[in-house]
Amino acid sequence: MLKKLPASEGNILEYEVDGKLTEEESQEATREVEQMIEQHGSIKILEYAVNMPKVDVSSMKEYFSFAKDNMKHVDKYALVTDSHIAAAAVKASDAVTKANFRTFGTEDLEKARVWLRKAD
- What's the whole-number average pLDDT of the chain? 82
Residues 6+ apart with CB under 8 A from 37: 43, 70, 73
pTM given for the model: 0.83
From the options 3.60.21, 2.170.140, 3.30.750, 3.40.1000, give the CATH code of 2-117: 3.30.750
Of the pLDDT bands very low, low, confident and very high (cuts 50, 70, 90), residue 57 is very low
CA geometry: angle 32, 35, 37, nearest 5 deg: 110
Is the model more confident about 65 or about 36?
36
Closest by CA position to 114, among listed 82, 80, 67 = 80
Residue pair 106/80 in contact (Cβ under 8 Å)? The answer is yes
Is the model more confident about 63 or about 73?
73
Q: How confident is the model over 97-117, as a mean pLDDT?
A: 90
